[in-house]
Chains A and B, each alone.
Chain A
């Protein structure tokens, strides 16, 4: 198997991991918080806190 063939498999594998991570996190988040909280953002609100991951 050539280096590029291994890279192809690696790319598929990494894509699957990243995609599944996002899906898993999305489902976990949706289950942990109420829909009212998740969709509570309102246009034009200002929040200057730097807490939370970013």
Chain B
């Protein structure tokens, strides 16, 4: 196969139709489900106070991620996000791995969200007391709703990015407002509803496993913010990448820091740590504990919307990463096609549907979540190294940057240290999965190096109008 490029007379590209609000909706939409469920397993790992420490330490980690990402992606404005960054700054093998991290992190997260929606339908049917003809209680089958969630959102993404991300922005905003309404409804200024002093009366409730519990809780502490870096995948579809991406990402991060702290405060004042650490839907449970039916309905809608927004954003991001790799022939070029009417990477969207369905229907939820977290964590490790190389090869002033993150290299060093601690935390609970996943990426790297790289469009890889790197 030749690596030369034929230029057709007619070009089809992705449409630049998005604004900062869509970027906010993409980032917050992917993540906010983590406030509704998942974060509370950090309480089970280390207690109430460990979960709060994890919330803020992970918040620091992701603030570093958002700042670093905003600077690099405001310069490398291309679909594929961190994959395109790696291609320009580090090299092809790193780019291939980063592309896989992205696709697996988002596809697994999509599968987890679809599973959750199926579970919510089952919960509602249980609350309504669904019975069969003989009067016996029936359990509604969740799989049809899991598959429908994936199919509907894939169809929405297939039909166009503007519609799908406007949908995301609206439902993510409603889910965020629901958190604020619950926070105000429990009167955080008084002790009438929230009973923090009772819930944390014993030392066991605060740090039952000591400081090792704090480290272990970091694993699920990531859940508060996991996916905010997905905003970069919209780089080729926003009207003004240098302005919209940093603005959307940083406001998204501020939104999540507020939502995470409010979430912990509400739940820690209503539920004992033994229950909270294992609850499937802690925010919905918190609304139920207030005894208010309107709040229950609002938080149920918020939970459904947050889950839908997350799955929708994940389809958007995974398909852009897969598409970008196909376009550069890191994968078969067939995946690099754009729909001539809807202007979306339609083949990549369709190809990833069965993968998400298989994982959502046949793989245990904790395995899916762990695979997603680990892939994300590998991506964050790359980002810290990437930004150091970026500043070294193209120092400030050598190229135009839409945003310059402060105190370099401190955020990168902090990010690396926090990643190391989190790897240890994951190893404590899921050591075999961590090793199995490392083995998978090593095998994939060998395949790329010895087989796939000869098909890559090497001459077309570097698309940014930058000067030669410093020292070359």
Contact = CB atoms under 8 A, between A and B. Distances in A.
B333 A39 contact: yes
B4 interface: no
Contacts of A54: 15, 17, 160-163, 342-343
Interface of B: 6-8, 10-17, 77-80, 84, 121, 125, 130-132, 138, 140-141, 144-145, 147-148, 151-152, 154-155, 158-163, 236, 239, 324, 327-328, 333-334, 336-343, 346-347, 349-350, 353, 460, 463-464
B17 A50 contact: yes
A22 B132 CA distance: 35
B16 A18 contact: no
A16 to B, nearest CB: 8
Contacts of A22: 154-155, 158, 346, 349-350, 353
Which of A4, A36, A39, A50 gathers the greatest number of chain B CB atoms within 10 Å?
Answer: A39
A45 B16 CA distance: 10
A37 B10 contact: yes
Contacts of B84: 43
Contacts of B162: 54
B151 A14 contact: yes
Top 3 nearest A-B pairs (CB, nearest first) are A11-B144, A54-B160, A54-B162
Nearest to B79: A43
Given A40-B11, A54-B160, 8 more contacts: A2-B130, A8-B141, A22-B154, A40-B10, A41-B337, A45-B13, A52-B342, A54-B17
Given A39-B336, A42-B11, A15 B347 contact: no
B105 to A, nearest CB: 21
Contacts of A8: 140-141, 144-145
B327 A41 contact: yes
A40 B8 contact: yes
17 contacts: A8-B140, A12-B144, A15-B152, A22-B158, A22-B350, A29-B339, A29-B341, A37-B12, A40-B10, A40-B11, A40-B12, A42-B460, A43-B84, A45-B11, A52-B15, A52-B341, A54-B162
Interface in A7-54: 7-9, 11-12, 14-15, 18-19, 21-23, 25-26, 29, 32-50, 52-54
Contacts of A37: 8, 10, 12, 340
Contact of A43 (B144, B158, B239, B324): B324
B13 A42 contact: yes
B279 to A, nearest CB: 24
A21 B463 CA distance: 35
Contacts of B121: 7
Contacts of B463: 42-44
Interface of A: 2-5, 7-9, 11-12, 14-15, 18-19, 21-23, 25-26, 29, 32-50, 52-54
Contacts of A18: 151-152, 154-155
B138 A4 contact: yes
B79 A2 contact: no
A19 B151 contact: yes
A33 B343 CA distance: 14
Contacts of A11: 144-145, 147-148
B345 to A, nearest CB: 8
B15 A49 contact: yes
B352 to A, nearest CB: 12
A46 B152 CA distance: 29
Given A18-B151, A50-B15, A54-B15, A41 B336 contact: yes
B319 to A, nearest CB: 12
Contact of A39 (B132, B152, B337): B337
B138 A2 contact: yes
Contacts of B148: 11-12, 14-15
B13 A41 contact: yes
Nearest to A9: B144
Given A14-B151, A15-B144, A23 B16 contact: no
A12 to B, nearest CB: 5
A6 to B, nearest CB: 11
A39 B327 contact: yes
B337 to A, nearest CB: 4
A30 to B, nearest CB: 8
Contact of B346 (A14, A26, A45, A52): A26
